Structure 1
C-alpha cells in the first residue's frame, strides 16, 4: 500500500511540474516529451516495485544445530608485565 501511494505521489509531483509553463521550450514539445518520459518511468517503476518475486526460487529451510551447553567463567592468571594477579572471562563448554 505504501508503494502505491508513493508512486501516485511521484506521478502527481511530476504532473504538477510539467504543468508549469517553460521559459522557452520551442512550443512546449521538449517539456511534453520530458514529462511523458518521467511519468512513464514512474508508472513502470511502480509496477516493477510492486510485482511479486519470480516463481521457482525456493528459500532453503532453516537448519537448527544444538550447541553444547557453554558458560563463561572468570579465570585468574599471573600478569608478568604488571606483576599482579588478574582475571579474564573464559568460555567453557561441557
Structure 2
C-alpha cells in the first residue's frame, strides 16, 4: 500500500513539474527536447506500470458451501415372527434405515 502511495505521489509530482516548466519555442535543428520527452515519458510509464503491476488482486467473496446430507441408507431384512410362547412361526420383511 505504501509503495502505491509513493508511486502515485511521484507521478503527480512529475506531471506537476512538467505543467509548470517554462515553454521554450521549438527549434527544428535540435533533437534534445524530443529525446528528453521520450525518456521522461518512458520513465513515467515505467513508474505507473510498476505501481499497477504490484497492486493487490481484487477480493472476490464466494458464498459459503452448503452442506447437503446424503440420503439415508435403507434396506429390507426378513425378521422372524414369534408366537406367544417364543417359538418362530414365520418371517416378515422389515425396512431398516441407518
TM interval, shorter chain, is 0.3 to 0.5
- State the TM-score, normalizing by the size of structure 1: 0.40
- State the TM-score, normalizing by the size of structure 2: 0.38
